[in-house]
Structure 1
Amino acid sequence: MNRGRFRNNRNNQYRNDKKVDLASSGDDNNPVVRSFREYANELNDKHDRYERIVKHGRDITIESKRLIFLLHTVDMRKPNATKILSDAYTRLNNICINSFSSIAKELHNCDPYQYGRAYSAGIQEFIEAFTYYDYLFNDHIMNWSDLQERLTYIVKPDDGSDAANAETANQGEEPSTEGVSNEASSEMTAKEEEPEGLKEMTCLVQPIEFMLGLADLSGEIMRKCINSLGSGDIETCRKACNFVQHLYSGYLSLGSIRHKEMSRKMHAMYQSVLKVEKVCYNIKVRGSEAAIWSSNDANEKERDDDVDEGFANY
């Protein structure tokens, strides 16, 4: 038994030595050798690009989670709500200007569908954070085409920097003076003056990724509803219930979607709908008692009104 194992090891060692000799003594003029070296360089370049995109996706995921925590501290009845929303928009726009523009640069002149999984988690977390901001500030959420246009950048062909200008970064009701760097503003000016000397780069957002990220929004609104009940904000609870119900009914109207994550997202959304409806049912049944209970709970937390601002230090 040991003799046969020794023979196999010796044969494997011989084959490996032979491969090394063939590789080291390869003829550069041989078309087969040149082709395989080109394939090796192409695969190495693809793997390196994939890993760089993964790193950018992780940065987007971390910053988006922090922004969601920040947005959960927003109470529109408090005077610091505008400041928190403005800071959140600044940081959301910085993600577009920095991280997503770097991904768009990596995907330029490449097949973006080959690298979709590298930043899938990041784009879903960003969609969840941005749509939650839109829900709080604008009372509506952006659609897929708006997000894709926001992640389309116009840069100079000889510009190697990552900062770029999204065409719709300053449109809508967001505070336009917040979150736009001087470099991005200069890119905007260059676009208006010399449109023929610019090129377009896009960070692809697949529609299924947008749907998965939007499905996660129901969980954040459910948490907002429960927190609002504790603070006595009954109107926000009813608003959250209507929104989550309409969102879930919209996903149900799509029918069967053949995606492995969609069924899990739909189940989580269904659980969020049940929790929000349970909160509103409790308010309906208890009537004035629910309001008194909520106001007493809010009075106990009155001394901690300024604690929630700590999330802004991320």
Structure 2
Amino acid sequence: MGTKRSWEGQPLGLHPKSDATMSAHDSTGPSVQSIFETFRDELDEHHDRRERIIKTSRDITALSKKVIFALQRVRTLNQPPPNKIAQENQTRFDQIRALFESLVPELTEIKAWRYQRQISPGIQEFIEALAFDHYLRTQTLISHAEVTAWLPGEILVSEEDYLMGLFDLTGEMMRFAVMALSSGNASATTQSTSTAGPEASDASSTSVPVLAPAQAGIVVDLRTMRARFESLSVPRRHNMLRDLSKKLEVMQTSVEKVERAAYGILVRGSERPSGWTPDLSVSMEVETH
């Protein structure tokens, strides 16, 4: 009975411990307060890093837009930009590279995926600027490997960011093409065609308007890009699917604007009044497959 009374007042399921044992346990193990302080420090570090990445991403976006604005002053294709524009943009590209290098400690190993959503807007805008510069120089699309090689190896360039950057590139190509087609130097030339043999008389030949090769090239490139983008197959649960439909719609609209400008040149030809520009306000339905 005495032993039974000695357990009275003790919580159920707990065995009584001596004061010496309890004090020894408290002094060696972490307290609840210290555990939560550790969690607090980790969360503070996470939020601080996240804000730094977002700020740097915005700085990269701003510099990339300046590169694009400068390139829109270019009027030639498949040639290096004028020296002044090339030097201005080289300075901006160097600044962008420095910003990406400053993010390397923040985006190592698993952190590259953890903060992908925060750095992604800057990467996409940079890809758009770099791809536009590359296209004006070579009239070819920059590859994913070339973009990756340009950046520090620790910076993750996902295929989704690469494709989204190319989607945005079509908008800049549209602006460049419309300005080129709207310029006073843009006009259609005639090309003689004949359904008869080479010995047929001139009366059997007809003349059709065609764009100059430099003007027709970007129209063909945009239509090819549209066909490739429309053939993309993205799984329903893919992260890219959320933005794909909107990007696809904007891309299609950009290509249709360039087609209307080209059609205006071909139809109006030399009859255009001085200062004429293509009417891009009227919507045009184009069947997609």
TM-score, normalised to structure 2's length? 0.69
Shift of 1:28: 8.8
Q: Tell me, what secondary structure is at the counterpart of 2:163?
A: helix
State the one-letter code of the partner of 1:214: L
State the one-letter code of the partner of 1:273: V
Report the equivalent of 1:285.
267
Structure 1 segments of 4 or more deviating over 3 A? 26-29, 31-35, 233-237
State the aligned residue count.
Answer: 220
Q: In structure 2, do the counterparts of structure 1 residues 270 and 28 end up closer, same or farther at CA, with 3 Å as the change threshold? A: farther
Report the equivalent of 2:82.
82
TM-score, normalised to structure 1's length? 0.64
Q: Which has the higher contact order (CA 8 A, sep 6+)?
A: 1
> Aligned to 2:179, which of 207, 215, 227?
227
State the one-letter code of the partner of 2:224: H
CA contact (8 A) 2:67 2:89 kept: no
List per-residue Cα deviations over 1:183-235 (Å, max 9, x = no partner): xxxxxxxxxxxxxxxxxxx1111111111111011111111111112212454
Any unmatched runs of 5+ in structure 1?
Answer: 1-25, 154-201, 299-314
Report the equivalent of 1:128.
128
- 2:225 and 2:179 map into 1 onto residues whose CA distance is 20
Q: Tell me, what secondary structure is at the counterpart of 1:108?
A: coil
- For the pair shown, the structure with the greater C-alpha radius of gyration is 2
Q: Is 1:146 paired with 2:146?
A: yes
Matches within 5 A, 1:21-32: 29-32=29-32
Greater mean alpha carbon deviation, residues 67-76 or residues 27-36: 27-36
- 2:107 and 2:132 map into 1 onto residues whose CA distance is 27
Matches within 5 A, 1:77-116: 81-116=81-116
Any unmatched runs of 5+ in structure 2?
Answer: 1-25, 188-211, 277-289
Matches within 5 A, 1:39-54: 39-54=39-54
CA contact (8 A) 2:60 2:96 kept: no
Q: Tell me, what secondary structure is at the counterpart of 1:261?
A: helix
- 2:255 and 2:27 map into 1 onto residues whose CA distance is 67
Report the equivalent of 1:36.
36
Shift of 1:108: 2.2
CA contact (8 A) 2:80 2:137 kept: no
List per-residue Cα deviations over 1:33-52 (Å, max 9, x = no partner): 44332222222111111111
Q: Which one has the bigger helix percentage?
A: 1
Report the equivalent of 2:219.
241
List per-residue Cα deviations over 1:41-85 (Å, max 9, x = no partner): 2221111111111111111111111111110001239x9942144
Backbone CA RMSD of aligned residues: 2.6
- 1:85 and 1:142 map into 2 onto residues whose CA distance is 20
State the one-letter code of the partner of 1:269: M
- 2:92 and 2:138 map into 1 onto residues whose CA distance is 15
Report the equivalent of 1:253.
231
